[in-house]
Amino acid sequence: MKTNKSYSKRIKVTKNGKLMTRKTGQNHFNAKNRTNTTLKKRRPVAIQMTNKNRGRYLNNQ
């Protein structure tokens, strides 16, 4: 199976093997959000992925 390149470019693998990605919902409609919410969305967030999906999305990382 081919690696999904578009998704693999959005994920960073840390030194300990955690998968970090952007939080969803920060492209538009953010004027109504509180400052705290906006600041929290800027931080990367860890995601859980099964080994099967990890092999599919992160084949060459």
**Could you give the domains of the chain?**
5-57 (4.10.410)
Per-residue pLDDT for 59 more than 80? no
pLDDT in tens, 6-44: 888 888 888 998 899 998 888 999 899 999 999 999 999
User: Do 21 and 44 meet the contact criterion of CB atoms below 8 Å apart?
Assistant: yes
pLDDT at position 60: 56
| Mean pLDDT on 47-60 | 80
Listing DSSP states for 13-57 in one string gives E-TTS-EEEPPSS-SS--TTS-HHHHHHHHS-EEE---HHHHHHH
Mean pLDDT, to the nearest integer, of 44-58?
A: 85
pLDDT at 55: 79
